[in-house]
Each structure stands twice: as structure tokens, then as C-alpha cells.
Structure 1
Amino acid sequence: MTDGFVVERVAFDEARVELHAVRGTVFIDEQRVPAEIERDALDPQCVHVLARAADGTPIGAGRLTPDRRIGRMAVLRDWRGRGVGEAMLAALVDSASAMGWPEVRLHAQVGALAFYRRLGFLPLGPRFEEAGIEHQTMARALVGAGVVETREQGLAALESIAAGTRRLLRVYSRALDPGLLDQPEAVAALRRLGTRGGEVRVLLQDAAAPRRALAPLISLSQRLPSSFAFRVVGDPVDLAYPSAYTVNDADGWYFRPLGHRLDGETRIDSGAQARELRHAFDPVWERSRPATELRALGI
């Protein structure tokens, strides 16, 4: 039981009425999706999860289709924002992983993109219309790492790593990563972390370039000085390091082999790689100097 509800895997034949009640309220009544589209022949072939309130009332539903896709994610209005969707998504991802799927995909409504990005899903391809609603294909790797090839995917990766941080986020960057760390989505993700009491440590090879560019992350750090710390590497070996990465204190990381590019790999639940990156970061942090020129910058 979590915050007054429970999520269970259910057999479609036994839970058909409850599943359709939730989905009907959300998709047919609220979103005006035609019933003949919402109810399809795939249901009996799918893996279903159902969320119930403490009194047994169905409040959320979701499914895994045979083509390895999460779908029909629905939560009743009064229960939104209380962790129901996240718990159902975790249950579906766990089921997909248990079946040995290398990845799982979904068609996210555009209004829910931030929700899925925070939970490790990366956008794929252009947006499209489905049932009269704009959607985006998204994917999360379950075996190996998710491949980051675009700025949108890099931003999604960064947002998920920041969201999964318990207390400390480590960032190794050449010059505050123009095109990534200066984007509104990235700044907002780091602001959320800072305002909830998290700490962000940023190692830079070059502090002068972001200072000249008036990088928005510097301004944010001045408003939240207890949450942000910058240091500048000075050791020649550290200055020659070609890569860049973001790693949290859980199991999430986003690694870029070439630090001046955004393409790389990411995973929100790979502890071994996260530990390796943290162990690489910490000694460099200790031998680097504080970036006092960024603290003193007036914007």
C-alpha cells in the first residue's frame, strides 16, 4: 500500500469491468476518445495493472501490449499527482523487464511528456496525432543503455537523472555544455533539485566561457548558493579528459564520450556504472579549485 493505494497486476478477464471503468472515465468521457478506438482487440493479449484505493475502488489502469509497448495509462482526476501513475509505470516496466524485453516503448500524450522524461523515457522521432491528440513515441532501455542522439534526448536524460537524485548530483562538464545545461528544461530540472534541498556539484574544465556567456546556471547558483558548487580542474591529466557526464547518488547516469557533443548513453537504474562515475568524479573534485569567479559574477 502506497499513499492510500495499491497497484496490482490483474488478469483482463477478471478485471475487465474495473479497467474499462477507469479508462472510460479518462479517455472516453474526459478526452472524448471514441469508444471504438479506446476498446480494442488487444486487451485480452495484454499484461494489465490496476491501481485501487484503500477501499478497493479502481483509480488507475495501464497495460503492456504484445508489441512491447506501454499503453492506456489512465488515472482518475482526484488521484493525479499522488504517485499513482508513477507506481503503475514502475509495475509495467518491472513486468517488461521480467519478460526479458530489451526496451519498452509508449506513445505519450504531449501533455504528459515531462512525466515520462523524469522516469527515464527518451523521445523518438517526430510528434504525431493519435485519436485526435498529439503524441510522442518514447522508449526506455531495459537491457544495456539508452542511446542519446539528439538534444531532446539529452535533455530528457538530464531531467531523469536530476529527478532521481536523492541528495547529490555530480556534473562533469567542459564549459557548462551550451545546448544542454543552458536550456530552460535543464535549468528547471536543476532548480527543482536545489529547491527540494539537493546539492549539485559541477566540475568545469573552462569557467571563463560560461562566465562570458552569462550561462543561466550560474545565475541560478547565485540564487541558490547552498545548493550549487563549482570547481575548476587544473591538473593537466584532468584538463585532457575528453568526456562529460552527469551522475546521481542513486543509479542514474548520462555519459558522453566526447564532452563537446551531446550524444552518448544513459540509464536511470544501472548502479555499477553510476558507482564507477562517482568514484571517478570525487578525487578530481577534491584536487580542483573552487570557481570563485563564478560566485562573484554579477548578472
Structure 2
Amino acid sequence: MSAGFQVVAVLDYAAALPALRQVRETVFVQEQNVPAELELDAHDPLCQHVVAFADDGTPIGTGRLTPDRRIGRMAVLAPWRGRGVGEALLAALLQRAGELGWREITLHAQLPAQRLYARHGFLPYGERFFEAGIEHRSMRLLLGAANPVETRDAALAAMLGVIAGARRGLSIYSRELDPGLLDRPEVTTALHRFATGGGVTRIVLHDPAAPQRALAPLIGLAQRLPSAFAFRAIEEPVDQTYASAYAVNDRDGWYYRTLGNRFDGETRLDGGPRARQLRAHFDPVWERARPCSEYRALGI
């Protein structure tokens, strides 16, 4: 539920059809030039549909679960984008998939929508491809389990998911600010959004000099928002032998890598026990580490 709209799960195709046509023809056929004969397909009567309605009863968004356990036909009318409708639709679809006992769910994401799905734990896999003339990427989510992270793109999605799921606190244990991950514009943008929304990010480093030499963008961001970022450097021998790296938020989200110099690992956004374990590891290390005074403004 959100101000101005509500999401209603419609399991009966006949009841959902008028709303599906109104939204999907506007978005896919008129806006994205998808052929009408491809838009409404033979799968629709076999799917479970979710529709978002404005408070006046006008349909404004749709999504479906297919028999082969995929999310599809996610569409939101243009005036309603950026107002939480897509998030609410996706949450309703995932809830229904869980009720059905599904353990894995996949989707074909249009490239601009990848971040929406990453915020809910989906990770990309395979190569990009064209569907109905639009570039897509396959994504998958294991429900109720840790998701393997096997590529840099999946690592980026995992990090975005953990940041998006944070309420007020985010803890990152890194060797040298993870070049290729924490310096990506998508990540620094997400961290900036988190910081300006009142969030605080704590970062522990093994080697603070390396990102300083590389002029890591996250250091510059922290200088502009010093109350939202804090860096500390490991000095105690007991901590210097720790080879892993991770990010964990103050809810249940985490992304863990056994070897901190690699991107492969695993992630989960609803993994409470593991999140508590990682926070329990991070806090005493943070207390033992020294503040990185060299990262303060004008310090580089």
C-alpha cells in the first residue's frame, strides 16, 4: 500500500484482462513499439496476474507469474513511474511466488529496469539479448536461500541490493575499496542516495593507501558528506589475516566473498542469521581499527 495507489493480486485472467490491456498496450505497444500480436500471448490465460490501481480505480501497472516460474510483463504507466508502483508490484509477485512454494524465479529485464530487480535480490546472468526489439538481460533469484555471485555484473547487483535494503546503517569490510565495484557510478549513486536519506556507512579497510592513490570516488563522496561516511584502517595483527570481504546492512541483507580480492561469493537480502553474524564480526574490528584521518577533506 502506498499513497495514491494500491496493488491487488488478480488470479482470474478474465477479471484482469481489461486492466492488462489498458496498461500493457499503452506501455508496450504505443510507447515501446512492441507488435500487438506479441504483447498479449497464449501464456496470459495460464498466468497469475498482479495489477496496481490508482485510488480512483484506474489501472496503472501490471505484472505476471508464468507457469515456468518467471516474472513478466512488468509495466507501469509513465506518470506513475518513480513513485513506488514497480516496487510494490514486484513485492506482490515475489510474495505470491513464495506462497506457491517456488524456490527459484527468473525474468527477462529490460536494461534500464535491472536496478529495480537488483534492489529485490535478482542477479543477472548470461549475455544481453534482444526481445521484441528491446535489449534485455536474464536475471534470477533463489527464494529463501543464499544466491551465488559469479560475475562482476552479479557483484554489482548484489551490492546495490544490500545498499537499497539498508534502513539507517551499512557496514563494508573491504581490502582496498574494491576497484571495479565500489567505484562504479551505480554504487556511488546508491550510496549518495542512502547518505542523503539519513543513512550512515562505515567502511573498514586493509590498505587505505591504495584507494587514496587511485583517487577513489567514494573518498570524494565521503568528504562532501562527512557525517554519513566513516573509514577506519586495520592495524591489529588478529585482523590482518582475515582474507574475506563483505557488505551487510542493518536489516537482513548481505553480500559475502570468501576471498576479498575476488567478486565471486554469495548474497541474500532476507538472511537474518548470517547478517547478524557478519555484524557481530564487523563491530569489534571497527572498534580496534584506527580512523582514516588522511581521508578527510584536503587530506589527499
Q: TM-score, normalised by structure 1?
A: 0.96
Structure 1 residue runs of 5 or longer lacking an equivalent are none
Q: Tell me the equivalent position of 1:80.
A: 81
User: How much identity, in percent, do the aligned residues show?
Assistant: 62
1:5-60, Cα deviation, whole Å (9 max, x unpaired):
11111111222111121111111111111111001111111111011111221111
Match of 1:8 in 2: 8
Change (3 A) 1:204 1:297: farther
Aligned residue pairs: how many?
299
* CA shift for structure 1 position 241: 0.7
Return the offset for 1:298: 3.9
Indicate conservation of the 8 Å contact 2:144/2:270, yes or no.
no
Instruction: Output the CA distance in 1 between the equivalents of 2:298 and 2:216.
Output: 11
Q: Give 1:297 deviation, angstroms.
A: 5.2
Q: Deviations over 1:76-111 (max 9, x none)?
A: 112111111100000001111222222211111112
Structure 2: state its 5+ residue gaps. none
Q: What is the root-mean-square deviation in Å for CA atoms of aligned residues?
A: 1.3
Alpha-carbon distance in 2 for matches of 1:238, 1:298: 26
1:4-83 equivalences under 5 Å are 4-10=4-10, 11-83=12-84
Offset of residue 177 of structure 1: 1.2
| Separation in 2, partners of 1:4, 1:141 | 32
Q: Output one character per residue of 1:108-152: Cα deviation in whole Å (capped at 9) or x when no partner.
A: 111222222222211111111000111111112213111111111
| Structure 2 residue 242 is matched with structure 1 residue 278 | no
Q: Within the alignment, does 1:159 sit opposite 2:160 as a pair?
A: yes
Query: In structure 2, what is the Cα distance between the partners aligned to 1:281 and 1:38?
Result: 49
Native 8 Å contact 1:211 1:297 kept in 2: no
For residue 128 of structure 2, what is the amino acid of its counterpart? Answer: R
Aligned structure 1 segments of 4 or more residues deviating by more than 4 angstroms: none
- Contact 1:3 1:82 (8 Å CA) reproduced: no
Q: CA deviation at 1:175?
A: 1.3
Q: Residue 169 in 1 paired to residue 149 in 2?
A: no
Q: For the Cα contact (< 8 Å) 2:253–2:268, is it kept in 1?
A: yes
Q: Quick one: which amino acid aligns to residue 173 of structure 1?
A: S
State whether structure 2 residue 238 is matched by structure 1 residue 237: yes
TM-score (structure 2 length as normaliser)? 0.96
Q: Distance in 2 between matches of 1:262 and 1:8?
A: 39
Matches of 1:111 and 1:211, distance apart in 2: 32
Partner SS state of residue 24, structure 2: helix
Paired residue secondary structure (1:136): strand
1:172-192 deviations in Å (ceiling 9; x for gaps): 011111221122222222122
> What are the equivalent positions in structure 2 for 1:1-299 lying under 5 Å apart?
1-10=1-10, 11-295=12-296, 298-299=299-300
- Please identify, of 140-149 and 250-259, the stretch whose mean Cα deviation from structure 2 is larger: 140-149
Amino acid at match of 2:111: V
Q: Partners in 1 of 2:214 and 2:78 — Cα distance?
A: 43
